[in-house]
Amino acid sequence: MGRQIVHRLLVSFPALLGVLFLCFCLLQVVPADPAMIIAGPEAKADTIAAIRNELGLDRPIPIQFAEYIGRVLRGDLGRSIISNKMVSEELALTIGPTVELMLGAMLIAVPCGLALGTFAAVRRGRLSDRVIMAISVAGVSMPVFFIGLILIQYVGFKWALLPFTGRTGPIWDGGLPSLILPALTLGLVLIGPIARLTRTAVLEVLGADFVRTARAKGLRETVVIVHHALRNALIPVVTLIGLQAAFLLGGAVVTETMFSWPGVGRLAVGAIVSSDFPTAQGAIMILAIAFLTINLLVDVLYVYLDPRVQRS
Amino acid sequence: MSVEALNAPAAVAESTGALSRSGVLRRLMRDKVAALAAIALTVIALAAVFAPVVAPYDPYLTDLTKVMQPPSAEHWFGTDNTGRDILSRVIYGTRNTLMLGLVGVIIGGLLGGLLGILAAYYPRADGWIMRLVDVMLAFPAILIGLAVAAVAGAGLGAVVIALVVATVPDVARVARGAAVGVMGQEFMEAGRAVGVSDRTLIWRYLTLNCISTIFVFLTLRFGQIILIGSALGFLGMGAQPPTAELGMMAAQGRDFLFMAPHIATIPSCAIFVIVLAANLLGDALRDVLDPRLQT
């Protein structure tokens, strides 16, 4: 298992390098000269030249890229043009809320999706199956912001049940109520695809010989479904969750913007709107690395769940 | 074996494609949900194409005496914060949203399909192409949209680039998978043996036999691409005011959510209907044309 994880890490390396290169290119191709932005509109030519020299912008591109990787490894992502704070400090403040939001969404989506999908598979062809599948197709087709708008309008505003702007703090410090609506918005979108795939996977497994054997042994139906069918059906579902990571991250950016959630996505959108290139670059890089990490974790989980992969 | 005989696989693919086209349509129409989705999508597409004729008002005409009016007989979908007719704006917005999705899917599909097929045909290029695809996959579409908007400024161009880049890697993978399967067929080997040129082998033998798989996949992706495009519009990275685009219209309506919820919810609902119809039709097409893609 360890060897497989190391192998997977090595395979991820070119992708990581590609991500870093593209993020590096972001600042190279922006229409504005970062040195001029930092120096301000009134700056003299020699001041701009001095800043260019200090930032290394006058050196050849490959050297600049090598220096950029060095800076990233040291955690130096430059300074925000707007707040003049270190980008790494701003990111450090926002990563926690984003992780919290994504975990909250997964905690809602995965159990609900698994339960609904399994139930639909067991009740195949009946009304409940059709209703669940119709809801899941509708869920897959719904824009994240539509769900968010409905929740804000009714749960947040009309019924005043939960807060709908900002984050009141970490969950262990009374922040749970403010997390519920954003996490629900993001989670509800994911329930559909998970339920759909779980249904297909469980249906496939229910026809397998080992399930027939389990039933023939006289095991209770719940045990057969949960321990034999669902456990084996989890493998494609875990893969799907990995594939949905892009969707999860994209959804998180929209959800954070809607709910004024102080995460990386909102930071990125705000930085782009205000042309704060170093912050935008840092935030986009962190989101891309987060995406690679989720996929890596899914692969590791895959090895853990499927002993056949371990043996291969 | 004559060259004419070797052209048979492609010819067979073409003729069966032509023969099955009416069969596909008949089978699709037998599925009530798919038929309904196809009709809904056709009506929406026609309304979008003929927007200047169909829209009851000028979508950009403001009327400050009629701001934030709820749906009525005069304005079926009500008016927005500057008194513009929301129905007219939704029709024009649908035009832009559909156009974005189509351009993304067509250009992304062509590039991705080409990359996937070349990767399957030239094993030496396979590794490089698939690594490139992996790097592209490391950037979720929204991030690409944000990055392009950061560099080139927000606008429809940024969204198109994001949608194309988001489509290419997935299509490349699917196309490569389908093409690798075709590469193993005997007719490919026979074609090579008698000296059929690479161009003919790639186009007539390989591509024509992979097209239905790529087409079905693109139909399934179309709904997702529209969702991504409208999310970028919602974030302010796409069309800029006063251009009507459904995602951006929803974002503008968000500021008036508590006073006039219809301004934000109607464009969101329109996106939902378009994507739902596209997804249902895509699912039905997959079942008819390529059940292997079923999940």
- Tell me the shortest Cα–Cα distance from B10 to chain A, in angstroms: 34
Q: Residue B135 and residue A15: Cβ atoms within 8 Å?
A: yes
Q: What is the pLDDT of residue B137?
A: 79
Look at residue A33 and tell me whether its pLDDT is greater than 80: no
Look at residue B183 and tell me whether its pLDDT is greater than 50: yes
Residues of B with Cβ-Cβ distance to A249 under 8 angstroms: 140, 142-143
Look at residue B2 and tell me whether its pLDDT is greater than 70: no
Residue B17: pLDDT band by 50, 70, 90 thresholds? very low
Q: Say whether residue A202 is in contact with chain B using an 8 A CB cutoff.
A: no
Q: Residue A146 and residue B154: Cβ atoms within 8 Å?
A: no
3-state secondary structure of B85: strand
258-297 in chain A: CB under 8 A from chain B: 258, 268-269, 271-273, 277, 280-281, 284, 287-288, 291-292
* Euclidean distance between CA atoms B100 and B89, whole angstroms: 16
Q: Residue A149 and residue B227: Cβ atoms within 8 Å?
A: no
Look at residue B120 and tell me whether its pLDDT is greater than 80: yes
| Distance spanning both ends of chain B, measured CA to CA | 41
Please, what is the average pLDDT of chain A? 86
**Average pLDDT of the residues in B112-130:** 91
Model pTM score:
0.87
118-157 in chain A: CB under 8 A from chain B: 137-138, 140-146, 149-150, 152-153, 157
Look at residue B70 and tell me whether its pLDDT is greater than 80: yes
**Average pLDDT of the residues in B121-144:** 84
Q: Residue B138 and residue A200: Cβ atoms within 8 Å?
A: no
Residues of A with Cβ-Cβ distance to B223 under 8 angstroms: 140-141
CA distances, B175 to each of B129, B180, B219 (Å): 12, 8, 14
Q: What is the pLDDT of residue A42?
A: 77
